[in-house]
């Protein structure tokens, strides 16, 4: 495996379900991110982890719960979601969180549909 891999690629869940999205990066990077992408809207940064420590939480509802057990793995735990949470969830990694931010390397995303 190379780059950033996300599983599952597609997920359909009811509003009462609990599911998790998984991300793994094989680039030796220190920082990992979760972004939400909705149609015709800018990417929304959700969470940032740098060396396994959460450094950003952009006012994300508590029904989204991130977990970063090590610098290579990132999870997004989902529970009691709303239909408006349906979107493409992108994981990304970078070498660091410098002032420039560095190049972000994205996974292919997990397409989430909440019924």
Partner 1 sequence: QKEVEQDPGPLSVPEGAIVSLNCTYSNSAFQYFMWYRQYSRKGPELLMYTYSSGNKEDGRFTAQVDKSSKYISLFIRDSQPSDSATYLCAMSDNSNYQLIWGAGTKLIIKP
3-state secondary structure of 33: strand
Q: Phi and psi of 84, rounded to 5°?
A: -70, -5
User: Least distance (Å) from partner 1 to the CB of residue 34?
Assistant: 12
Query: Residues 20-59: x/- map of binding to partner 1 (CB under 8 A)?
Result: --------------------xxxx-x----------x---
Q: How many CB atoms lie within 10 A of CB 110?
A: 23
Residues numbered 68-107 forming contacts with partner 1, rule: CB under 8 A = 90, 92, 97-101, 103-107
Are 22 and 77 spatial neighbours (Cβ–Cβ below 8 Å)?
no
Residues that bind partner 1 (CB under 8 A): 4, 40-43, 45, 56, 90, 92, 97-101, 103-109
């Amino acid at each position: 495996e190379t780059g950033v891999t996300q599983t599952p690629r597609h997920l359909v869940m009811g509003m009462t379900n609990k599911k998790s999205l998984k991300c793994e990066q094989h680039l030796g990077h220190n920082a990992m991110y979760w972004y939400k992408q909705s149609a015709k809207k800018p990417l929304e940064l959700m969470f940032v982890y740098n060396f396994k420590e959460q450094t950003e939480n952009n006012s994300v509802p508590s029904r989204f719960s991130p977990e970063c057990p090590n610098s290579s793995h990132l999870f997004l735990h989902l529970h009691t979601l709303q239909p408006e949470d349906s979107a493409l969830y992108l994981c990304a990694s970078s070498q660091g969180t410098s002032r420039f931010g560095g190049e972000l390397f994205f996974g292919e995303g997990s397409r989430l549909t909440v019924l």
